[in-house]
Structure 1
């Protein structure tokens, strides 16, 4: 059951109501941290429509209570619930007040509640009203035993939480226009909180927020300062500030922004505070969350630099391998011996195959390659080079997906060698078709595997089959077996940790089936 299912099943609430609840639950950690208490979202266990209940709006059936839809614990205080409240019924001591709250659409504070004999707590029940209808209830829970002397910080936090919860009850927050992304470095309550008035003047700054501005180079008191002007003076004159920054630092828009100086990088998030007046929703201030992300951005820059360096290395390796391939081609042309020329041409193709893998790695941000794209080109090229004067067609089926470089390089070499062998020996100078198929599967133990099948419709190998893996693959070459097949056997056993099987192809010809285990982090 998803969060929206109970609402949508009633037929009285629309997708907009359920989406708003999703926005609330996605962002209510902020409210829980400010309130320093648990928040629980509730919906009637049995919902009765407005007509059946003979009321202006639907609600809980007579004699029934509420069930928890979502639960969040504060990171700034101790939780009062050690079990998850999702799917749990509301305590009987609270149900009567909660029913009144649902229909009257007023806040109901309950000073002392023994919640199912778990612990004593203070509970405040808020109705969540949209378009004149209560769509759910929200309860805020504070433990009695954990009460302590409240300082200025606690007082401001809880006052701000009450103002936010008042907006939540009216459906005025969260705002659909606010960004919902979860980019790295988003500020939290524990990182730093600043209260602003309607003009953007600081009325309160938490100790962590003060520390953030110390790192930016400001040594005075933040209270009473116009934050947008103060922050602008801290920015380097040559730097470009985000155009949204003034709107964020004055609390006018529910947006996020980031600044960077030679000293520090800081992210900001603004939450305008509004109250209901005769003129509608009127902004009277804002909460500004700030976070020092200097170390986070430094590490991100290091990773970006590392990625760029690795791609450059792959690019240079590719260039060097292409140079080696070109030198082998030049040397092959000078050979008078046909055998020596063919040997150098085979070496050239092997080097070029490895170069293609490095070229693919140099163009991506990860150490994996799209093997379908790489091997598709290499497969056709290998068949064409090995079949001068023959009419050989190729068929590429299946799916390889993303493969790590340590698997892609040997597999590309193996496919190159077997395709060349299928054309030269399987088709034996005749026209025909060479096929390549890739299939991702799982072993009996559930490990991800790759099965590669290379086939030809040539002369075939009779009814016999050969399968090799592990130590047996390191044997000396048998009679009539060239260097290419020895390379294939060795790579399958040492690099792929798999097996290779030569067997008759149904309908004539030969099939070579290769199995390899895929590393877990590349099995997606």
Structure 2
């Protein structure tokens, strides 16, 4: 099976730096799919003006829409215009009407992937290097819980950061720790001041096991050795995991 690097470089439109950025993005791929409750597909442009899928993530938080993997396949005709618009305009593009996939109504969001040119540099790539499509199953729509609303908002924040070249974070840890957290492991959402505005039940349980017996929501995060290693952290301006 071809690797992500092989598939991206075979299209002749991407640099080695682009490939490295996409590898970092795919390192946190599963967490993004879980937060979004959606399948995600990563597309890169081809010399022929189309797009080819180079990565596909299925959510563990909901049922997958796609039984077969898209990796290595050219984009389906019904998605080409939306993906092309996101790529050409560097803007997030939502489907105007439900997209039907094998008799299942879905919502498709196309997110351009911009690359930051350096860990300490403010500038980003002039054009997108890829596009992510987020495929949400509308047939399972129901009144969402507070946790589901928070997970979706975290996903929306991360996708906005991807489109702005702010995610993935070049300063994040590398190696076996990258990509390890799952949303179901426990998630805390922090505001810009570091105050916990949401704690999932599993997140609270994780802190209880470490000896923290107080109320997490409303408390200020302190990155002490005792509490800095077991939770997924998200803030409205920057998302971090430790």
- Give how far 1:2 is off: 2.7
Residues 162-177 of structure 1 correspond to what in structure 2 (within 5 A)?
Answer: 162-177=156-171
Q: Are 2:19 and 1:18 aligned?
A: yes
Q: Are 2:58 and 1:73 aligned?
A: yes
- Give how far 1:153 is off: 0.5
Deviations 1:384-421 (A, max 9, x none): xxxxxxxxxxxxxxxxxxxxxxxxxxxxxxxxxxxxxx
8 Å CA contact 1:195, 1:285 repeated in 2: no
* Greater Cα radius of gyration, structure 1 or 2: 1
Deviations 1:285-332 (A, max 9, x none): 54557xxxxxxxxxxxxxxxxxxxxxxxxxxxxxxxxxxxxxxxxxxx
8 Å CA contact 1:195, 1:288 repeated in 2: no
- Give how far 1:94 is off: 1.7
- Give how far 1:87 is off: 2.2
SS state at 1:165 partner: helix
8 Å CA contact 1:93, 1:114 repeated in 2: no
CA RMSD of aligned residues (A): 2.6
8 Å CA contact 1:194, 1:288 repeated in 2: no
* Structure (1/2) with the larger helix percentage: 1
8 Å CA contact 1:198, 1:286 repeated in 2: no
Say if 1:271 and 1:88 are closer, same or farther in 2 by CA, change over 3 A.
Answer: same
Q: Are 2:179 and 1:201 aligned?
A: no
Deviations 1:247-278 (A, max 9, x none): xx7xxxxxxx53xxxxxxxx3455665xxxxx
SS state at 2:175 partner: coil
Q: Structure 1 CA distance, aligned partners of 2:20 and 2:178?
A: 24
Deviations 1:491-511 (A, max 9, x none): xxxxxxxxxxxxxxxxxxxxx
Q: 2:221 maps to what in 1?
A: 227
SS state at 1:161 partner: helix
- Give how far 1:14 is off: 1.9
- Give how far 1:198 is off: 1.9
8 Å CA contact 1:196, 1:288 repeated in 2: no
Q: Structure 1 CA distance, aligned partners of 2:44 and 2:67?
A: 21
8 Å CA contact 1:97, 1:108 repeated in 2: yes
Which of 208, 211, 221 aligns to 2:205? It is 211
Q: 2:94 maps to what in 1?
A: 109
Which of 101, 108, 133 aligns to 1:139? It is 133
- Give how far 1:11 is off: 5.1
Q: Structure 2 CA distance, aligned partners of 1:226 and 1:149?
A: 30
SS state at 1:138 partner: strand
Q: Structure 2 CA distance, aligned partners of 1:25 and 1:185?
A: 8
Structure with more relative contact order (C-alpha pairs < 8 Å, separation 6 or more): 2
SS state at 1:134 partner: coil
Say if 1:3 and 1:183 are closer, same or farther in 2 by CA, change over 3 A.
Answer: closer
Say if 1:114 and 1:166 are closer, same or farther in 2 by CA, change over 3 A.
Answer: same
**Structure 2 unaligned runs (5+)?**
116-124
Say if 1:286 and 1:170 are closer, same or farther in 2 by CA, change over 3 A.
Answer: closer
8 Å CA contact 2:158, 2:167 repeated in 1: yes
* Structure (1/2) with the larger strand percentage: 1
SS state at 1:47 partner: coil
Q: Structure 2 CA distance, aligned partners of 1:135 and 1:152?
A: 34
Say if 1:12 and 1:31 are closer, same or farther in 2 by CA, change over 3 A.
Answer: same
- Give how far 1:99 is off: 1.4
Q: Structure 2 CA distance, aligned partners of 1:287 and 1:195?
A: 10
- Give how far 1:6 is off: 4.7
- Give how far 1:105 is off: 1.2
8 Å CA contact 1:7, 1:135 repeated in 2: no
- Give how far 1:144 is off: 1.5
- Give how far 1:204 is off: 0.6
| TM-score where L is the length of structure 1 | 0.41
Q: 1:8 maps to what in 2?
A: 9
| TM-score where L is the length of structure 2 | 0.85
Q: Structure 2 CA distance, aligned partners of 1:177 and 1:269?
A: 16
Which of 78, 82, 101 aligns to 1:97? It is 82
Deviations 1:83-120 (A, max 9, x none): 111123323222112211111111111141123x3532
Q: Structure 2 CA distance, aligned partners of 1:226 and 1:86?
A: 42
8 Å CA contact 1:201, 1:226 repeated in 2: yes
8 Å CA contact 1:210, 1:222 repeated in 2: yes
Q: Structure 1 CA distance, aligned partners of 2:72 and 2:10?
A: 17
- Give how far 1:218 is off: 3.1
